[in-house]
Amino acid sequence: MGPKITIARLREMKRDGQKARVADRAGVDIVSVGDSVGVNLWGLAREDEVTLEQMLLACTAVRRGVDHALVSCDVPVAADPVTAAQLLVKEGGADLVKIEAGPETIRSVVDAGIAVWAQISGQGAGGRGPEVAGDEVAGLVREAKALEAAGASLLDFRHSGPTVGPAVARALSIPVIGGLGGGPWLDGRVRAIGNAIGYSAAALDDQAERYANVARVALDAITTYTADVRAGRQVRGK
């Protein structure tokens, strides 16, 4: 395992591709506790329904299990950004907070001494497609630079696409990470681990490409266990 990841280290990785590859082999650099936990863990209908208390509980649990990577936690939409950010860092153990907001809000949290992972989206501006008008590219670059100027330490560029994505990544000195619709044209990628490994029940029936299908493995194992119990056979494990 390499050295503990810091914001400064992520900035260095943006500049030094060889070191980034070495660091990449060492493990995950950021563990992001997203507001999707409200849907995936607590069964809420929408991500914007998650409460600060729920995010704090999830963040605290994740922090206990992470030694090397940075821990980021989403600030719920309905919460006061500064108050929530301070709580997630002080009590939840987050190294930084993720906020989808404008420069003024980002600046207020940064001024409170908290590192911020900002977010923009190319969706609706042709961000996904290869053909994007020059003024649309320039507009997203301006938006991203405004967030950087407000003090953001990282940027999540969703639906970036291969045209706008590289333009934004080149224009910023902070790392530009791709969530939904990201790609190798950015400085890094973030993926919902449950989707990547097929953790949810939906993975049992769909044909989405994943790195694993944990739900299928679990179903097969539980089915076998149930059959052993009903047949009076000795079950495996403790």
> Where do we find the tokens 């600030």?
75
pLDDT of residue 113: 98
Q: Is the pLDDT of residue 17 over 50?
A: no
Q: What share of the chain is helix, strand, coil (3-state, %, to 5)?
A: 45, 10, 40
Q: Which domains does the chain have, with CATH numbers?
A: 7-192 (3.20.20.60), 193-238 (no CATH)
Model confidence pLDDT, tens digit, residues 181-191: 788 889 988 88
Q: Which residue has the higher pLDDT, 202 or 228?
A: 228
Contact 33, 94 (CB under 8 A): yes
Share of the chain above pLDDT 90, in %: 47
Q: Is the pLDDT of residue 23 over 80?
A: no
Q: Is the pLDDT of residue 14 over 70?
A: no
Q: Cα angle vertex 74, ends 71, 76, to 5°?
A: 155
Cβ neighbours of residue 68 closer than 8 Å, sequence gap 6 or more:
1, 2, 4, 5, 26, 27, 28
Distance CA 85, CA 108 (A): 10
pLDDT of residue 117: 97
Q: Is the pLDDT of residue 12 over 70?
A: no
